[in-house]
Amino acid sequence: MKSIKQILLYLLLCLNILLVFLSLVSDKLVVPEWLSLMGRLHPVLLHFPLALMLVSILLYFFRGKLGIQQRSIFQLLFFLGALSAAATALLGLFLSTEGGYDENTLTRHQWSGVAISVLAYLVFLIYRQPSAERWLILTSTASMVVLVWGSHQGGVLTHGEDFLSFRSEKEEVPSVEITDTSMVYAALVEPVLRNKCYSCHNNQKSKGELVMTSVEQLLKGGKTGKLWVAGDPLNSHIVERLDLPEEDKKHMPPKGKAQVTKREQELIEAWIQSGADVSKRISDYPVQDSFRIFLARFIQKPASVAKSYGFAAASSSDIEAAQSPYCYISPVAAGSPALQVRFLIRSGFTVDLLKKLNGIRQQVVQINLANMPLKDEDVSLLREFQNLEILNLNGTDITEKGLEKLKENRALYSLALSNTKVAFSGFEQLAGSIPSLRQVYCWNTVMDSAGVTKLKTRNTRLNWYLGFVPDKNELLQLTTALLADNDFFVLGPKDSVRFKHPMPGAIIRYTLDGSAPDSLRSPAYSTPLHFTRATRVRTITVRPGWLTSDTTDHTFFVRSAFNPTFTRFVLPPDKNYTAQKEATLFDNRKGDPGNFREGFIGTKENPFELLCGFSESKQIGEVLVSTLKNTGSYIMPPQRVELWAGQDSVNMKKISEVIPVQPSQHQMNRIELQRLPVNGSYRYFRLKLLNVQKLPSWHDGRGTKGWVFLDEVFFN
C-alpha cells in the first residue's frame, strides 16, 4: 500500500513538471489528432478540480464545527483535487492547439491553470506536514483566488468579455420588420450568422482565424480563405461546411450546437448566388429577378395593406377546369379571390390553354406568359381579362402589332416586354394608350435611355426599367463557356463534346493537354470535339471590347472497353461514403464535384484497394481512375496510385504507379484524371490509392490525414 502511495505521489509530481514544460513551449507544441480530440474533454473535467478544491478547503477550515477528525479524508480530497487539476490543465493545453482563440486571453487562462495545478500540489504536500498550518492557509487562499480568476478567463475565452458581467436585465436583440427597403444582409443574413456562428467566430474566439462579427472581418475570411464565392454557392466554403454530415468535425455549426435550418441555408445560398452584396436593399433587385421573388417570402406585410377586390372568388370547379400540367393557377394572397396564372414549358403551350381560362377571367389579375410562343394574333384573347393588373410577356414572339390589342385592359398596371421584338412605335403607343399603366420592363429591346427620355414627356407617371445599362468606356468580363450537355462526361463511341456561349461574336478557345488556353494562339472552338481517350479540356471565352472570361476545366472520359467480371473491395472504404459499393465505380456516371456525398467512394483511415477480375486475360492499354479534389473538405489527390496485375488473384506484380501533384493552396473543386499505363495481358488487377497521411502546413487540418474520393474506374 505504501508503494502505491509513493507511485501516485511521483505521478502527481511528473504531471506538474510535464505541464510546466509543455506550457513553456506551447507556441511550438504540435500534438497528434487523437490527443487533440482528448483535449475536448477539458470542459467536461474542469468541474472536478473546481468542486474538489473548494469543498476540501472549506471542509478543512470548518472541520471542528462539522466534527470531522480523520486526516485521511482530507489527504484523499487534497490529492484528488491536485490530480484532477493537473489532468484538466494538460487537456486544456492539448485543446488549445486547435487554435481559434484570442491569444492574450488564452495565455492568461493557460497559466492560471498551471498555477492552480501547482498550488493544488503544494496544498497536498503542506497538508502532509501537520506543523505547517500557516502555510496551508496561505496556499489554500492563493489557490482559491487563482481558481476564481482562471475560471473567469475561461469564461471570457468561450463566451466573451461580458461572461461574468452583472446586468439588470437580459439583453435582447430587437426584432426587425422586413420590408422592401430592408438591407438584405443586415436584416436577413446577418441574424442567421449571429445566432449560429458568432459564438465561435468573434474577436475573443476566432475558430479558423475567422471573425464574423463585423462586415470587414467577414469579407476578409479566415485561414481557409474567403467564406464564399459570389455567384457560386456550390464552391463557397460556408456552404461546403453546412453541407457536411453533422458527425463530421468540420461541419458547421459543430454538433451539439444550434444548427442552421433548411430555410436559413436556402437564404444563404440564394444570397451568394445573387452576388452576396452586403449593401443592397430588397428593392434594389429587379421585380422579376429570381432572388427578389425568393425574398418575398420574408417580407412582413400587414394584413391591412392587402388589396381588396369587388368580385367573388371563382368556384373550385372552374379553377380545376382551367388547370393543366402546363398552367399553374394560385391565389395572389391567402384569402384573396384574385388569382395569378403562370404558364409552364414552352413546347406544351397552345392558345387553347388561354381559352380554358375563360371561366375565371374575372378573377385573374396576374398572367405570366414568359418565354411562351405567344403571337400577335393571340394577344386578343387577353382582352377578356378586364381585371388584369400584371402581365409578363418577356421572351414571347409578339411585336408592336400585338400591343395594340391591350388598349382595352384598363386595369393593367405592370407590363414586362423584355427580350421581345417590339419596335419603338409600340412603346410609343404604351406611353399614352393605357392610363392605368405604371411599369414597363423593356431591357434587351430597341428601347434605350434616349428613348425613355423622349417618352417620359408623354406620360411622366410611367416608369421604364431598362435593366443594366453598361458604361461604354467600361470593360466587362465575359462569362465562361457552357457545356451543351451538362451531364455528358462519360462518352460513348458516337458522343462528342459541345460548347456554347450566349454572347454573339464570342470566341471559345481551348486546350486538350491541360495547359492554360491562350486568347490568341489556342485553337478556336467551332465544331463538336470527339475523343477516343480520356481528355482534359480547358477553355476561355474572348471577344473584342470585353475582358477574357475565367478558365473552365473539364475532364471527359471514354466508356470502358472492358468491364470486369467481378470486383471486390480489399479494404473497406468509409461506411459513410460507399455509394452503391463496387458498382459505383463502373456505372459510367460521373459524380458532382460540389456534392461528394453522392456517387463517390471515400476512405481516410485505410488506403483504397480494389480487386478486379476478368473471365480471361485482357490486353489492356491503360487504366483510368477519376478522383475528386475538394481541399476545403480535406479531400486531396491521392498521395500515390498503384496498379498491380497478374494471372491469378494472389501472385501479382506492380506494373504501374502515379504520384499525383498535390495542391499548394486551397483550389476549386474538380475531378482529376489518374492515368495508369499497362503493357501486357492480364486477368486480375489490383488498384491501390494511398490517401495523404499528413495534410500540409498551409491547410487548417495540417498534420491530420486527408480523404481520397473516387467515382469511376475505366479499363481501355
Query: What was the pLDDT predicted at 168?
Result: 38
Domain boundaries, the chain: 2-159, 184-298, 303-465, 470-557, 560-715
Q: Distance (Å, rounded) from C-alpha 699 to C-alpha 99?
A: 13
Q: Distance (Å, rounded) from C-alpha 653 to C-alpha 639?
A: 20
Using pLDDT thresholds of 50, 70 and 90, give the confidence band for residue 162.
very low
Over the Cα atoms of the chain, what is R_g?
35
Quick one: what percent of the chain has pLDDT higher than 90? 30
pLDDT greater than 70 at residue 167:
no
**What's the gap between Cα 353 and its chain centre?**
41
Using pLDDT thresholds of 50, 70 and 90, give the confidence band for residue 69.
low
Question: Which residue from 382, 441, 446, 453 is spatially nearest to 414, judged by alpha carbons?
Answer: 441
Using pLDDT thresholds of 50, 70 and 90, give the confidence band for residue 608.
very high
Q: Distance (Å, rounded) from C-alpha 265 to C-alpha 342?
A: 27
| Digit-coded pLDDT (tens) for 103-148 | 666 677 778 777 777 777 777 677 666 666 667 667 777 777 776 6
Give the lowest-confidence range in 92-96, 244-248, 510-514, 711-715: 92-96
Q: What's the average model confidence in pLDDT over 655-673?
A: 90
Query: What was the pLDDT predicted at 659?
Result: 95
Q: What's the average model confidence in pLDDT over 383-389?
A: 93
Using pLDDT thresholds of 50, 70 and 90, give the confidence band for residue 34.
low
What average pLDDT does the chain have?
82
| Digit-coded pLDDT (tens) for 487-511 | 668 888 888 899 988 888 899 999 9
| Residues making up the chain, counted from first to last | 716
Give 584 or 68, the one with higher predicted confidence.
Answer: 584
Query: What was the pLDDT predicted at 246?
Result: 79
Burial 485-496 (b: 16+ CB within 10 A, else e): eeebbbbeeebe
pLDDT greater than 50 at residue 349:
yes
Question: Which residue from 610, 603, 600, 602 is spatially nearest to 567, judged by alpha carbons?
Answer: 610
pLDDT greater than 80 at residue 690:
yes
Phi, psi of 557 (to 5 degrees): -115, 155
Q: Supply the CATH classification number for the domain 303-465.
A: 3.80.10.10
Query: What was the pLDDT predicted at 524?
Result: 94
Give 160 or 12, the one with higher predicted confidence.
Answer: 12
Give the lowest-confidence range in 16-20, 367-371, 565-569: 16-20
507: Cβ–Cβ under 8 A, 6 or more apart, which residues?
524, 525, 541, 542, 543
For the chain, the straight-line distance linking the first and the last C-alpha, in angstroms and rounded, comes to 73
Q: Distance (Å, rounded) from C-alpha 570 to C-alpha 710?
A: 15
Give 710 or 174, the one with higher predicted confidence.
Answer: 710
Question: Which residue from 305, 314, 294 is spatially nearest to 363, judged by alpha carbons?
Answer: 314
Q: What single letter denotes the amino acid at residue 44? A: V
Q: Supply the CATH classification number for the domain 560-715.
A: 2.60.120.260
Q: What's the average model confidence in pLDDT over 31-44?
A: 65
- Residue 567: its H or E element: strand 566-571
Q: What DSSP line would sit under 58-98, residue for residue?
A: HHHHTHHHHT---HHHHHHHHHHHHHHHHHHHHHHHHHHTT
| Digit-coded pLDDT (tens) for 318-331 | 998 998 888 989 88
Q: What is the DSSP letter of 126?
A: H
Query: What was the pLDDT predicted at 211?
Result: 84
Q: Distance (Å, rounded) from C-alpha 596 to C-alpha 630?
A: 9
Q: Distance (Å, rounded) from C-alpha 214 to C-alpha 224?
A: 18
- Residue 114: its H or E element: helix 103-127
Give 679 or 255, the one with higher predicted confidence.
Answer: 679
pLDDT greater than 90 at residue 36:
no
- Residue 629: its H or E element: strand 622-629
Query: What was the pLDDT predicted at 444?
Result: 84
Which one of 117-121, 297-301, 476-480, 506-510 scores highest in mean pLDDT? 506-510
Strands (E), 251-338: 327-331
Question: Which residue from 561, 488, 490 is spatially nearest to 712, judged by alpha carbons?
Answer: 490
Dihedral (Cα; 541, 542, 545, 549), 10-degree rounding: 40
| 678 in Cβ contact with 618 (< 8 Å) | no
Q: Distance (Å, rounded) from C-alpha 643 to C-alpha 675?
A: 10
Q: Supply the CATH classification number for the domain 470-557.
A: 2.60.40
Using pLDDT thresholds of 50, 70 and 90, give the confidence band for residue 174.
very low
